[in-house]
């Protein structure tokens, strides 16, 4: 599914029994059951059908309820339910946008990164932070996370476009 943005979810419409009708940017559409969210203690408000009906897609492509940003769901889960495919298949092609699909710490701060277009390589993350990196960043035990195709290490987000360009150019880490 190629899209013009990094987030393929275009719209959601609430249906009875905690289901939604989802429309993706390639016009794929279908129903997803979000009743599993009711088992999460902080999502208890969703049990109210009127509140559940306030579902919307925010500018980052995240399904949200209410006026704040506290209650949200995963577009990835909705995509999988609607299409039966893994969410990485919904990511834009390399010519439009990229996303991180795998990251493994090799020797902190060196990390192996694989992108949605198949590009992969090892980079030193301290070279790709938009903010000052803590002096002890190289200590083992810090966690690498992939969230919505972004790369986050110990709450620091890294510039994946620059990492992708660096790997594509075959520059040393």
User: Does 72 share its domain with 131?
Assistant: no
Residue 155 has a pLDDT of 66
Residue 15 has a pLDDT of 96
Residue 49 has a pLDDT of 95
Q: What share of the chain is helix, strand, coil (3-state, %, to 5)?
A: 25, 30, 40
The least confident of 55-59, 71-75, 142-146 is 142-146
The least confident of 45-49, 69-73, 129-133, 168-172 is 129-133
Structural domain includes residue 1: no
List, in order, residues 6 or more apart from 171 with CB less than 8 Å away.
Answer: none
Identify which has the larger pLDDT, 129 or 52.
Answer: 52
What's the domain count of the chain? 2
Asked if residue 6 lies in contact with residue 99, where contact means CB atoms within 8 angstroms, the answer is: yes
Q: Which of 96, 119, 116 is nearest to 2 (CA)?
A: 96
* Listed residues 57, 90, 123: the one ending a domain: 90
pLDDT at 95 over 50: no
Only one residue has tokens 């506290």, namely: 70
Residue 33 bridge partners (DSSP): 19
């Amino acid at each position: 599914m190629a899209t013009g943005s990094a987030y393929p979810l275009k719209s959601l419409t609430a249906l009875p029994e905690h289901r939604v009708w989802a429309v993706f940017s390639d016009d794929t559409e279908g129903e997803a059951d979000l009743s599993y969210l009711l088992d999460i203690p902080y999502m208890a408000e969703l049990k109210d059908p009127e509140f559940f009906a306030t579902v919307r897609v925010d500018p980052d492509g995240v399904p949200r309820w209410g006026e704040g940003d506290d209650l949200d769901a995963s577009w990835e889960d909705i995509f999988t339910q609607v299409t039966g495919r893994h969410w990485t298949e919904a990511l834009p092609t390399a010519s439009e946008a990229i996303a991180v699909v795998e990251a493994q710490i090799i020797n902190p701060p060196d990390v192996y990164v694989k992108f949605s277009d198949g590009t992969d390589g090892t980079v030193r993350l301290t070279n790709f932070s938009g903010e000052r990196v803590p002096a002890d960043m190289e200590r083992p035990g810090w966690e690498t996370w992939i969230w919505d195709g972004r790369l986050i290490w110990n709450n620091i987000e890294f510039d994946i476009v620059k990492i992708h360009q660096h790997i594509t150019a075959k520059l040393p880490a």
